[in-house]
Structure 1
Amino acid sequence: MRRGVWAALTGIVAAATVLASAEVVAVFVGAESSPLFAVGSLVIDLAPPGVKTLTIALFGTGDKAALLTILGIIIVLGAALAGYLEYRRKPFGTVVLVAFSAIAVFAVTTREGASGISAVPTVVGMLVGVVVLNALQQRLKRWGVREDGSRKATATTAASPVVRTGPAALERRQFVTWMVVAAAASAIAGVGARAMNAGAAVVTAARNALVLPTATTSAAALPAGTELGIANLSPVVTPAADFYRIDTALQVPQLNPDTWSLKITGMVENEVEISFAELLALPLVENYTTLTCVSNEVGGDLIGNALWLGYPLHLLLERAKPQAGADMVLSRSSDGFTAGSPLEVLQDASRQSLLAVGMNGKPLPVEHGFPARLVVPGLYGYVSATKWVVEMKVTTFAQDMGYWTPRGWSALGPVKTSSRIDTPRQNAGLAAGTIPIAGVAWAQHTGIATVEVQIDGGDWQQATLADPISADTWRQWVLQWEATSGDHTVAVRATDTSGYTQTSDEAPPAPDGSTGWHTIKLTVQ
């Protein structure tokens, strides 16, 4: 193997020791001081609004995995460059390693709740990485010197092969041994420390042991007609495992319910703080609510409906007594994300907004906000559905902005009336005959009145609607189509109970939600 490649590998191993050492030190300093996820979060924060939309469009709910993969590739390439430069033009490799570490220090120290001490793990990791890089490079150069000398010596003889059992071979074995030991130690220490930092075992155990109280006000049983029973149609209640997840948390926050609390602060007469035990002791209510991400494209799947258990937000706000002039509640997640919700919406007793603790009869999944999150019907998640919520600040839109507003998204995010075709799928090959065209439609906190389907630009035909759960949930719909051979175009539109019909004008998700009719093409044999 060419020594340039070996040199690049020394950089990769050195970078691994940086990350592993930082993770180990972060066990003692605090999990939030871990550099890898802090850098990823910084990338999310600095990305232009269009990049977020594009990433979600390309990868959907796999956007976090995609970002980590890209970040990992960048780290590997940068580390390989550092190793190569250090071998060819010392100390430029060390400079590259220090520069990458400086970016990580900036990312860590600018996170929510960070302090100067948060930089310690990354700085220690950088120092360890520089030492390892130099140690490996010295052994690589000694090997190179020995091997070059051996080649010169054998070149004076009659075409003799290079001797492989002398000093050069010994130096090579020592170099490779150091490489393997450093890489293995980094992997073991890094993985172990990362597991400890995540605290996943503790939080998972606490969640699994939690028995939710019975709701004082239970949701009514679902009407028999809410499910149309059509294959490939989205179920009216989305399983938690299938519920979309879009947020800014690259690393899922691990909050211990024993130490969690929610504070209501700001423009209030009485500041309120409530623990998880106190929250569970309140008269909780259940209701079905459909949540939608503002990044959902027309026909997209960033939407789901679930049964939520929690305490009404309007009652919590009554305790705090918002002051005159306040018009916004800035809710904050433990990872620093914020959402600005209209105060009047959260105070509306008819809206069933919740500080939720349960989802589909079980404690919230960790990735969906355990131990508590906000659920607000009729608003896109980026202005309402704060997960891992720890604070609600009563304020004004003139004074404060949620996370996405300065990044080009609308301060107000009412959900737009929309509909989607679930079956048949785009470009499906079908046989002539009766074919159900079916999907879901939604207009949260307004309700769906009718759904219409158009075939090949013809007249709009009214679909059959499933029975509604409430105005806060989506509805299934179906049209039985007598399909004929050929290529066809199918479109759908919904009309809500206010009389508004979806516009055909196409608009992207930014800045306040996509519009247009979901349209698919089919081929019938």
Structure 2
Amino acid sequence: MGSNDVRTREPVAVRSDEPSDPVPGWASALAGVAAGAVGLGIAQLAAGLIDGGAFPVVAVGESLIDLSPAPLKEWAIRTFGEDDKTVLVGGVFVVLALVSAGLGVLARHRFAHGAAGFGLFAIAGLLAVLTRPDAAAVDALPTVIGVAASLWALALLLRRMTRSYVPEPYEEPWDADGTADGTAGGTADDTAEGAAADGAERPVVMRAGADLRAFDRRALLTGVAGGAVVAGIGGFVGTALAGRKEVAAARADLTLPAPAVPAKPLPPGADLKIKGLAPFVTPNADFYRVDTAVLPPQVDPATWTLKIHGMVDRPIEITFAELIRRPLIEADVTLTCVSNEVGGPYVGNARWLGARMADILRSAGIRSGADMLLSTSADGWTCGTPVDVVMDGRDALFAIAMNGEALSVDHGFPVRQVVPGLYGYVSATKWVTEIKVTRFDQDTAYWTPRGWSEKGPIKTQSRIDVPQSGASVPAGRTTIAGVAWAQHRGMDAVEVQVDDGDWRLARLAETPGPDTWRQWSIEADLTKGKHTIAVRATDATGATQTASLAPPAPDGATGYHTINVQAV
């Protein structure tokens, strides 16, 4: 044909070089791993709410242990020692990750195949969970919920990683005779040149076979990151909940041993039983709690150990079972927090049961020159206690119980320190797991760099409980009462002053020893009107507390506790 002939626009053979599946295999595998992680995190959360043993990974691990032949178990113990269970559970996680990756690849081609794979894992998990001796039907829920979460996450990720797109217009190159060349790889420039050569319009066609979907790497990675966050939060919270339940069960099952040295009965008159006056023995539920733990550590006594090392002849490590087999003693001891303001509530008295710290430290052999015990709690908090105080014969204890009950988690279960005569920040380590025998010039405890003194001997203090500050009281004879303390020195006298009158001696209650607070009371005649009442104490060394007001930092508050009342 001539160059001026008009050619009919006819559809030409279409290209089929676009892939029908735009998603690479590694992306599907990554989606499968992320989905599996989401399922495990959600399952752990559900198990924590229901029963820690219902977590399918743990149940499968326990089943593998039960089914393993004896030689394999012995090899694992020889090879991994105490870490054999950790290695086993880690292996289960690795296998789950690999299989989840494979299921993700299967689901890319046909989602039902991937779903069936996760279903098989659900069956294995259910068998492991429900064949436990103490299993209940509700224990199946974590596995079912976890698999459902995995399938939901996998479907979501597979959708996220592809996006719709509109293919670029494509013009086939034409031969000089006006027929389609059909040669692959023609460019837009080639097409433009062909059109310019003869002035004819060329039909614009689309590549055939394009499924109008494209791989979206960014959407996949953000989705995987979101799944990792969900899995991490679910696993963390579920583990914490499961640990809390396990520790609560261990505490409930603990039978306290009888003390080798029981405390003497409280002397008659130790508690004046005046309404509004703090009782001599502080109920456990009312005992103050001051520590740095946002969530109290959940420490299982079955795995708890106390390590003593540093400047010792024989480093030792004691289990809870070994600790409670030691001769235990009971002691009435009042604890005080250094942050207690004058007249404040951070003081309480209890009967403690525990092993003498001095006896255990002697078994390790403290070397000459050591003057500090750097104790560490399960949450990493540290405390520096003077060695001489612990070793001077007072009832310094590794305590396991207070007021006849195992320590609550809030108060240090399974083991805490109790040292009479020192503020808690340098003595009363809860959840204690380690003692480093060292020196104050070589190590530093938690509060010292924060401005508190290295050593915190308790200062003589007194408090008015009755009447309360700002109260209205009947004019005439009025009972004034409170508590006073000077641990390990003892209390010798308490005096009360009304307005600018003379200091008058109050009546002191009985006390079992120098390590507890002491109740006091006095009667005063109050005329109608406003009155100011103050109290001061004198310890058994003859030292009277100072009137000079000072804040708690750096080594304890000072000053007289003073209240104002209205007699009507």
The two structures share one fold, judged by TM-score above 0.5:
yes
The match for 1:234 among 261, 278, 282 is 278
Match of 2:366 in 1: 322
Tell me, yes or no, if structure 1 residue 344 matches structure 2 residue 372. Answer: no
Match of 1:383 in 2: 426
The match for 2:266 among 222, 232, 241 is 222
Structure 2 CA distance, aligned partners of 1:22 and 1:510? 49
1:108-119 equivalences in 2 (<5 Å): none
Residue 277 of structure 2 aligns with an amino acid whose one-letter code is L
Match of 1:410 in 2: 453
Residue 333 of structure 1 aligns with an amino acid whose one-letter code is S
Match of 1:121 in 2: none
Is the 1:423–1:438 contact (alpha carbons within 8 Å) kept by the matching residues of 2? Answer: yes
Structure 1 CA distance, aligned partners of 2:328 and 2:285? 24
Shift of 1:433: 2.1
Structure 1 CA distance, aligned partners of 2:232 and 2:438? 45
Tell me, yes or no, if structure 1 residue 471 matches structure 2 residue 514. Answer: yes
Shift of 1:22: 13
Structure 1 CA distance, aligned partners of 2:553 and 2:238? 37
Match of 2:409 in 1: 366
Shift of 1:188: 12
Shift of 1:191: 7.2
**Percent identity for Structure 1 against Structure 2:** 54
Deviations 1:349-376 (A, max 9, x none): 2x11000001100110111000000000
Secondary structure of the residue that 2:380 maps to in structure 1? coil
Is the 1:26–1:197 contact (alpha carbons within 8 Å) kept by the matching residues of 2? Answer: no
1:165-314 equivalences in 2 (<5 Å): 194-198=237-241, 199-314=243-358
Structure 1 CA distance, aligned partners of 2:369 and 2:469? 50
Distance 1:280 1:521, change over 3 A: same
Is the 1:23–1:194 contact (alpha carbons within 8 Å) kept by the matching residues of 2? Answer: no
**Corresponding pairs, count:** 356
Larger radius of gyration: 2
Distance 1:22 1:265, change over 3 A: farther
Structure 2 CA distance, aligned partners of 1:356 and 1:23? 38
Secondary structure of the residue that 1:391 maps to in structure 2? strand
Match of 2:486 in 1: 443
Structure 2 CA distance, aligned partners of 1:402 and 1:253? 19
Residue 41 of structure 2 aligns with an amino acid whose one-letter code is V
Deviations 1:250-299 (A, max 9, x none): 11100000000001100000001110000111110001000000000000
Distance 1:209 1:481, change over 3 A: same
Distance 1:461 1:23, change over 3 A: farther
Structure 2 CA distance, aligned partners of 1:370 and 1:506? 36
Residue 273 of structure 2 aligns with an amino acid whose one-letter code is G
TM-score, normalised on structure 1?
0.65
Shift of 1:209: 0.6
Q: Structure 2 regions of 5+ residues with no counterpart?
A: 1-36, 49-152, 164-225
Is the 2:41–2:234 contact (alpha carbons within 8 Å) kept by the matching residues of 1? Answer: no
Shift of 1:418: 0.1
Secondary structure of the residue that 2:239 maps to in structure 1? helix
Match of 1:522 in 2: 565
Shift of 1:196: 3.0
Is the 1:23–1:190 contact (alpha carbons within 8 Å) kept by the matching residues of 2? Answer: no
Match of 1:65 in 2: none
Is the 1:21–1:190 contact (alpha carbons within 8 Å) kept by the matching residues of 2? Answer: no
Secondary structure of the residue that 1:224 maps to in structure 2? coil
Is the 1:450–1:495 contact (alpha carbons within 8 Å) kept by the matching residues of 2? Answer: yes
Is the 2:466–2:482 contact (alpha carbons within 8 Å) kept by the matching residues of 1? Answer: yes
Match of 1:58 in 2: none
Structure 1 CA distance, aligned partners of 2:230 and 2:528? 59
Shift of 1:322: 0.8
Structure 2 CA distance, aligned partners of 1:21 and 1:205? 28
Is the 1:328–1:395 contact (alpha carbons within 8 Å) kept by the matching residues of 2? Answer: yes
Secondary structure of the residue that 2:269 maps to in structure 1? helix
Is the 1:261–1:275 contact (alpha carbons within 8 Å) kept by the matching residues of 2? Answer: yes
Secondary structure of the residue that 1:225 maps to in structure 2? coil
Is the 1:506–1:514 contact (alpha carbons within 8 Å) kept by the matching residues of 2? Answer: yes
Shift of 1:481: 1.2
Is the 1:417–1:442 contact (alpha carbons within 8 Å) kept by the matching residues of 2? Answer: yes
Structure 2 CA distance, aligned partners of 1:435 and 1:252? 43
Structure 2 CA distance, aligned partners of 1:342 and 1:326? 9
Shift of 1:435: 1.2
Residue 476 of structure 1 aligns with an amino acid whose one-letter code is Q
Shift of 1:434: 1.5
Match of 1:399 in 2: 442
Is the 2:462–2:484 contact (alpha carbons within 8 Å) kept by the matching residues of 1? Answer: yes
Structure 2 CA distance, aligned partners of 1:191 and 1:465? 56
Deviations 1:205-240 (A, max 9, x none): 000010100001000000111011100000000011
Match of 1:486 in 2: 529
Structure 2 CA distance, aligned partners of 1:255 and 1:395? 26
Residue 200 of structure 1 aligns with an amino acid whose one-letter code is R
Is the 1:405–1:411 contact (alpha carbons within 8 Å) kept by the matching residues of 2? Answer: yes
Match of 1:506 in 2: 549
Cα RMSD after superposing both structures: 2.7
Is the 1:289–1:473 contact (alpha carbons within 8 Å) kept by the matching residues of 2? Answer: yes
The match for 1:460 among 471, 495, 503 is 503
Structure 2 CA distance, aligned partners of 1:189 and 1:409? 37
Residue 410 of structure 1 aligns with an amino acid whose one-letter code is S
TM-score, normalised on structure 2?
0.60
Is the 1:504–1:517 contact (alpha carbons within 8 Å) kept by the matching residues of 2? Answer: yes
Q: Structure 1 regions of 5+ residues with no counterpart?
A: 1-19, 32-127, 139-182
